[in-house]
């Protein structure tokens, strides 16, 4: 994925017993954020930050979707527990993750693993990649994404 690319035609299961076709998410800005794992400290904080600023994203008519390789049951629990007002997409096979090149080697508790590198992608209302953030650090990240969404108008 590079700046200017269109949303991919990938369909994934989402919370709320729905499926989402990414390429159909046009007509509004789309924030697609990839996170390593449900209900871990950094992922919880990132989700809570998006939740806490959700009304500001709504004012810009932006849609937020979170993505990890966790299953839908875990996503439903995670979403309900922290009252996320946006949907989470389940990508267990890594199709979307691979399309965005977010599966990377990393160290977890001193051990090498392969997993999702925290990353966020912003698409404009035509479905074109406008901005990307890779290897995200959670503090203040959501405010930076919000400023980029606001710059679209």
Question: Which residues sit opposite 68 in a β-bridge?
Answer: 90
Does residue 2 form part of some domain?
A: no
SS3 100: coil
Q: Would residue 114 count as lying in a domain?
A: yes
Query: Residue 5 domain-assigned?
Result: no
Number of domains comprising the chain: 1
Residue 67's CATH number: 3.40.30.10
Its domain, for residue 130, covers 11-151
- Residue 27's pLDDT is 95
pLDDT at 15: 97
pLDDT of residue 81: 97
- Respond yes or no: is residue 97 known to be catalytic: no
Among 43, 65, 67, 142, the active-site one is 43
Within 13 A of 75's CA, how many CA atoms are on the CB side?
25
DSSP state of 94: -
Q: Would you say residue 4 lies in a domain?
A: no
Give me the residues of the chain with pLDDT under 70, please: none
Q: How many CB atoms lie within 10 A of CB 28?
A: 14
Q: What is the edge-to-edge ordering of all strands in the sheet holding 11-14? A: 18-21, 11-14, 87-90, 63-68, 30-34, 119-123, 129-133
Is 82 a member of any domain?
yes
Cα(108)–Cα(128) distance, integer angstroms: 33
Q: What pLDDT does 106 receive?
A: 79
Secondary structure E strands in 56-140? 63-68, 87-90, 103-108, 111-116, 119-123, 129-133
pLDDT for 139 equals 94
């Amino acid at each position: 994925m590079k700046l200017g690319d269109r949303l991919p035609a990938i369909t994934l299961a989402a919370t709320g017993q729905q499926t989402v076709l990414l390429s159909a998410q046009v007509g509004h800005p789309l924030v697609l954020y990839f996170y390593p794992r449900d209900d871990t400290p950094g992922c919880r904080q990132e989700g809570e930050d998006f939740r806490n600023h959700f009304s500001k994203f709504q004012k810009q008519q932006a849609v937020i979707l979170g993505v990890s390789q966790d299953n839908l049951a875990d996503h439903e629990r995670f979403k309900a527990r922290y009252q996320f007002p946006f949907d989470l997409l389940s990508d267990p096979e890594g199709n979307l993750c691979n399309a965005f090149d977010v599966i990377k080697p990393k160290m977890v508790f001193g051990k090498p693993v392969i997993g999702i590198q925290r990353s966020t992608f912003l698409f404009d209302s035509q479905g074109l990649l406008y901005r990307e953030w890779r290897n995200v650090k959670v503090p203040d990240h959501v405010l930076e994404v919000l400023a980029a969404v606001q710059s679209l108008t």
